[in-house]
């Protein structure tokens, strides 16, 4: 069931849109995982840079491995935008996991990594896990790296048992996060306290934070592609007024909708000089 639910959710990252990539001279490659893993792994990606680049990541409810030739950084579900500094030209590899996906593959407690970026040496045990970057960079071709990761992760995949968390995700996804904690608890027939325990066990976050992250994802995507004013967007997206939308946006994205593009483009301009 998780496969079907996660298949409905496509996270949005403005850095990975065509216009930003083209202006920055960054080449992006993406690929879906094998059928076995598609319920927990969203995608593999690789960016190739020709100059130092700042990669701004907006919160999307995903966990991730950010891999360079120097090591592996593990990202829990982030509550606000952050920057990855790709300090040297070259290839950078990544694996994006759906909410709760890491638990199906690794012995990692979500609360230990939520809202954090951690070196894998501080999270994982075992030489194989810590040596992942060396094994990946033994292969120069993106498709070969994908095949290696698919095989490696498939060996770690734990049979998945459907849970209440599936239903929680479904309700959040289908409402685009425009739902209160109380309404969500009623939808999945749980008390708000029990609901919160379940969400925390899978994500390390409380229910309200997860809902807000999915909602701001949708807002970010619509605002990025829309020419409407923020007051019009606020009404269309279910906010009481413009100020509520801007407060949520700034809390999670660290700027206003029009400022995000300026932030990305100014980074690339400054890095090119």
Tens-digit pLDDT profile for residues 78-104 = 999 999 999 899 999 999 999 989 988
pLDDT of residue 263: 53
What pTM was estimated for this model as a whole? 0.88
Provide the pLDDT for residue 4. Answer: 46
Whether residues 79 and 61 share a domain: the answer is: yes
> Is residue 76 located within the same domain as residue 138?
yes
* 266 CB-side CA count, 13 A: 6
Residue 187 sits in the same domain as residue 210: yes
At residue 268, the pLDDT reads 42
Q: Is 158 left (phi over 0), alpha (psi -120 to 50) or beta?
A: beta
Same domain membership, residue 108 and residue 192: no
Determine the pLDDT at residue 3: 46
Say what the pLDDT of residue 264 is: 55
Q: Are residues 32 and 145 in the same domain?
A: yes
Residues 186 and 228 occupy one common structural domain: yes
Number of domains in the chain: 2
| Full DSSP string of 23-87 | HHT-EEEEE---TTTTTTEEEEEEEEESS-EEEEE---S-EEEEEETTEEEEE---SS-EEEEE-
The parts of the chain modelled with pLDDT lower than 50 are: 1-4, 127, 267-273
Same structural domain, 145 and 190 = no
Give φ, ψ of 34 to 5 degrees.
-70, 165
Last residue within a domain, chosen from 87, 121, 156: 156
pLDDT of residue 1: 45
Contacts for 195 with CB less than 8 Å, ≥ 6 apart: 168, 181, 184, 185, 188, 207
Which pLDDT belongs to residue 180?
A: 95
Q: How far is CA 272 from the centre of its chain?
A: 27
Coil/strand/helix, residue 118? strand
Domain containing 133 equals 2-156
Long-range CB contacts for residues 183-188, cutoff 8 Å, separation at least 24: 184/211, 188/164
Q: What is the pLDDT at residue 229?
A: 72
Instruction: Tell whether 83 and 213 lie within a shared domain.
Output: no
- pLDDT value at position 22? 85
Of the residues 100, 121, 156, the one at which a domain ends: 156
Query: Which residue among 156, 180, 196 closes a domain?
Result: 156
The predicted structure's pLDDT at residue 33: 96
Give start and end residues of each alpha helix (H) in 204-241. 207-225, 230-236
């Amino acid at each position: 069931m998780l496969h079907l639910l996660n298949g409905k959710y496509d996270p949005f990252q403005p850095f990975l849109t065509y216009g930003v990539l083209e202006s920055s001279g960054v080449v992006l490659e993406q690929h879906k995982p094998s059928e076995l893993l598609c319920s927990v792994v969203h995608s593999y990606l690789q960016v190739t840079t020709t100059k130092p680049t700042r990669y701004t990541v907006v919160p999307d409810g995903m966990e991730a491995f950010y891999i360079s030739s120097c090591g592996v950084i593990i990202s829990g579900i982030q509550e606000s935008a952050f920057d990855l500094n790709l300090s040297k030209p070259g290839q950078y590899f990544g694996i994006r996991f759906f909410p709760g996906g890491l638990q199906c593959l690794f012995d990692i407690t979500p609360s230990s990594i939520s809202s954090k970026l951690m070196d894998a040496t501080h999270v994982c045990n075992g030489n194989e896990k810590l040596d992942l970057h060396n094994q990946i960079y033994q292969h120069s071709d993106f498709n070969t790296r994908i095949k290696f990761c698919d095989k490696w992760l498939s060996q770690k995949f734990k049979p998945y048992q459907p849970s209440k968390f599936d239903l929680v995700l479904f309700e959040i996804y289908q409402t685009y996060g425009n739902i209160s904690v109380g309404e969500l608890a009623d939808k999945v027939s749980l008390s708000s306290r029990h609901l919160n325990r379940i969400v925390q066990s899978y994500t390390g976050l409380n229910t309200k934070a997860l809902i807000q992250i999915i909602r701001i994802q949708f807002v970010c995507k619509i605002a990025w592609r829309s020419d409407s004013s923020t007051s019009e967007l606020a009404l269309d997206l279910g906010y009481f007024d413009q100020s509520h939308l801007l407060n949520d946006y700034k809390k999670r994205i660290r700027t206003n909708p029009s400022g995000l593009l300026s932030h990305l483009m100014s980074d690339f301009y400054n890095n090119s000089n």
